């Protein structure tokens, strides 16, 4: 059987681009198809523009806090939304172009077209009707926003894809959801000057994160002026001359300029031809793969959010690289989806790695908790009420650090380095033996000596009294 290419990659996002480039470096002939813009969700409408907007929002705090350090301004700072949008567009266009240049340098053939799978070795290019025969096919199409709840008037709402490029700044913004995307956009738009309301189905934000961080972030979001309404969802949206009238499940009606539905994302598998090629999908539409990212069809593979394993850009990149090394580099590489550090870019931000206190208590016989909450040094002069929270979760039997969780300035930067320590199975004694860098917030991580709580797994059902100071 003859093939046009060794590898055909569908999707020019983080995972697909890395896989294509590394495979080509191993000597494979590679073709990649992208129907929108090279760079995928992260570069074009996700991580990168979001972080740029977060920086923009934080200048509001900097201006306000500068007075405590002796600064005065002749005029009140004024934010101009179109300038930010244009600057963002210039930067992501630059990054998208770099992706294309690096692929071309590696010898990858780039096709600007939607691609659909016809059979285990054939891909159809929708732009010109060409059929490409590939020895192996990699699907790396990522995820797409879900516009839910499906209520009357939902067509007037937007997803995070559209929020970056609105022609006018949304002075009144309703955010629906409580995950990463919802809290990040609520936080940054509040600081840019919008009046923000955050509604969600549950009782608190960021399900799955450490409970103390969840509660701490909720307090900080309220301090930023965000109206938080738990156990509340929109039930109807009506477009009016002066805005969008939203009726909530609590019976209230409010007017907004924009409604962001950030209730989740789903794998972008619809219409790719996976079913006709015999590729198995799960109940959410994600592609089922094994540890080597191979589907039930031996010639078809998948990496990144389309597999719904761990939906983070660095994970997709690592999976793409591992796939290329395994299939074309002559060495089997398995990606471990455990102890992955991550950040939530609210203000203050969250940085976390490893087990939460709650998960650790379910899995280990004895769990020690070390915790500190303090006012950052910058706040002593600026007057900011923002607090920093740090937690270290430790196996009480082996002294191994199971997880570290931070709410505070530059928490994401700290989480990256803490990820190394947790991955290396560092102990609390290792943390204690590390010299502090003073004065920093991070020094608290190596100076916490007093255990705040110890939990025994066989007393979990005893309620609050299950925590004991000594055993």
List, by residue number, the catalytic residues.
438
CA distance 417 to 464: 33
Q: Look at residues 65, 70, 20, 1 and name the one whose alpha carbon lies nearest to residue 320.
A: 20
The answer for residues whose C-beta is within 8 angstroms of residue 277's C-beta and 6 or more apart is 117, 118, 119, 120, 297, 300
37 CB contacts (<8 Å, ≥6 apart)? 12, 44, 96
Residue in 342, 357, 319 with CA at minimum distance from that of residue 454: 357
Q: Are strands 195-199 and 172-176 parallel, antiparallel or unpaired?
A: parallel
As to burial, measured by CB atoms within 10 angstroms (0-12 exposed, 13-18 middle, 19+ buried), residue 469 is exposed
Phi and psi at residue 264, to the nearest 5°: 145, 175
Backbone dihedral region of 231: left (phi > 0), alpha (psi from -120 to 50 degrees) or beta?
left
User: What is the secondary structure of 105-126 as a DSSP string?
Assistant: HTTPEEE-S-EEEEETTEEEET
Q: What is the CA radius of gyration of the chain?
A: 24
CA distance 372 to 385: 16
**Distance from C-alpha of 320 to C-alpha of 180, rounded to nearest angstrom:** 23
Q: Left (φ > 0), alpha (ψ -120 to 50) or beta: where does 272 sit?
A: alpha
Q: Let me know: does 224 contact 184? Beta carbons within 8 Å.
A: no
Q: In what order do the strands lie in the sheet containing 453-456?
A: 342-344, 349-354, 401-408, 388-395, 366-374, 453-456, 467-468
- E runs forming strands in 231-357: 234-240, 243-248, 253-256, 258-261, 265-267, 300-302, 342-344, 349-354
Q: Per 3-state DSSP, what percentage of the chain is helix, strand, and coil (rounded to 5)?
A: 35, 25, 40
Rounded to whole angstroms, the Cα distance separating 135 from 6 reads 5
Q: What are the DSSP calls for 231-263, one per residue?
A: T--EEEEEEETTEEEEEETTS-EEEESEEEE-S
């Amino acid at each position: 059987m003859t093939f046009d290419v060794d590898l055909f990659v569908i999707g020019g996002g983080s995972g697909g681009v890395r896989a294509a480039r590394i495979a080509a470096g191993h000597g494979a002939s590679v073709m990649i198809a992208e129907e929108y813009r090279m760079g995928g969700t992260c570069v074009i409408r996700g991580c990168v523009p979001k972080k740029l907007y977060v920086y923009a929002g934080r200048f509001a705090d900097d201006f306000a806090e500068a007075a405590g350090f002796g600064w005065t301004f002749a005029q009140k700072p004024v934010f101009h939304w179109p300038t930010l949008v244009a600057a963002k567009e210039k930067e992501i266009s630059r990054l998208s172009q770099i992706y294309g240049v690096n692929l071309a340098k590696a010898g990858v053939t780039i096709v600007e077209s939607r691609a659909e799978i016809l059979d285990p070795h054939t891909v159809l290019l929708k732009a010109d009707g060409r059929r490409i025969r590939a020895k192996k096919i990699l699907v790396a199409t990522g995820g797409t926003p879900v516009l839910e709840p499906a209520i009357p008037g939902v067509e007037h709402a937007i997803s995070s894809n559209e929020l970056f490029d609105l022609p006018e700044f949304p002075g009144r913004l309703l955010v629906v959801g409580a995950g990463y995307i919802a809290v990040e956009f609520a936080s940054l738009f509040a600081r840019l000057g919008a009046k923000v309301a955050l509604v969600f189905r549950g009782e608190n934000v960021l399900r799955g994160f450490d409970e103390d961080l969840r509660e701490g972030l909720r307090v900080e979001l309220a301090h930023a002026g965000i109206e938080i309404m738990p156990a509340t969802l929109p039930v109807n949206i009506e477009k009016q001359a002066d805005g969008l009238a939203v009726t909530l499940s609590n019976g209230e009606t409010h007017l907004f300029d924009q409604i962001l539905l950030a209730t989740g994302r789903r794998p972008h598998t619809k219409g790719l031809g996976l079913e006709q090629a015999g590729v198995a999908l799960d109940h959410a539409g994600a592609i089922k793969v094994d540890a080597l990212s191979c589907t039930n069809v031996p010639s078809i593979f998948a990496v990144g959010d389309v597999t719904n394993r761990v939906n983070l850009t660095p994970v997709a990149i690592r999976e793409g690289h591992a796939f290329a090394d395994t299939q074309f580099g002559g060495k089997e590489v398995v990606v471990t989806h455990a102890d992955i550090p991550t950040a939530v870019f609210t203000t203050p931000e969250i940085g976390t790695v490893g087990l939460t206190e709650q998960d650790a208590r379910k899995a280990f016989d004895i769990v020690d908790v070390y915790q500190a909450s303090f006012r950052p040094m910058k706040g002593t002069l600026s007057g900011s009420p923002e607090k920093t929270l740090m937690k270290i979760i430790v196996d009480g039997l082996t002294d191994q650090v199971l997880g570290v969780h931070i709410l505070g300035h530059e928490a994401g930067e700290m989480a990256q380095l803490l990820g190394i320590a947790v991955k290396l199975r560092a102990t609390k004694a290792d943390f204690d033996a590390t010299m502090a860098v003073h004065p920093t917030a991070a020094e608290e991580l190596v100076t916490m000596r007093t255990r705040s709580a110890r939990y025994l797994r066989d007393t979990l059902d005893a309620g609050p009294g299950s925590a004991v100071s000594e055993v």
